[in-house]
Homo-oligomer: A and B are copies of this chain.
Amino acid sequence: MKTECIGDYVKFNGKAYPCTVSLTMNLIGGKWKAVILYHLKDGEKRYNELRKEIPSITEMTLSLQLKQLEKDGLITRKVFGKKPPVKVVYDLTRLGESFVPVLEAITQWGNKAVTDNGEFVHS
């Protein structure tokens, strides 16, 4: 099976990419998107839960990345309640769920790389 560069380029959500590797890296690349998806893989989470589980991300960046992931169809955003404090829940879409195996592969590779050539640090 040919797994790349079927056709001359690919279009997704109106944007063009030279190949599907490129496309994937654009959708889930960057410093945080994969990490966020990772934390959603076991079920929905609230905004503040994500913040606590990813302490080094800022509010603004988390908010921005969530918006982009939603726009690209990887996660959903649901609001409960009308008056503050409202409750907002993020969850994977089907497309997002189909990405979980890739996430697992990424995680396992990272773990093996660290085991072989790096170190796990406990402070």
Binding site for B on A (CB under 8 A): 3-4, 6-13, 16, 18-27, 29-31, 34-35, 38, 54-56, 73, 95, 98-99, 101-114, 116-123
Whether A98 contacts B114 by the Cβ 8 Å rule is no
| Tally of this chain's copies | 2
Q: Which residue of B lies closest to A15 (CB)?
A: B118
Complex CA distance for A55 and B16, rounded to whole angstroms: 15
Return the chain B residue nearest A101 by Cβ. B105
With A29-B30, A102-B106, A107-B3 known as contacts, the answer to whether A12 contacts B112 (CB < 8 A) is no
Enumerate 25 A-B pairs (CB-CB under 8 Å) in ascending A order.
Answer: A3-B104, A3-B107, A3-B111, A7-B120, A8-B123, A9-B123, A10-B120, A11-B119, A12-B113, A18-B55, A18-B56, A19-B38, A19-B110, A20-B114, A21-B35, A21-B110, A22-B31, A24-B34, A24-B106, A25-B29, A25-B35, A29-B30, A29-B31, A99-B109, A101-B109
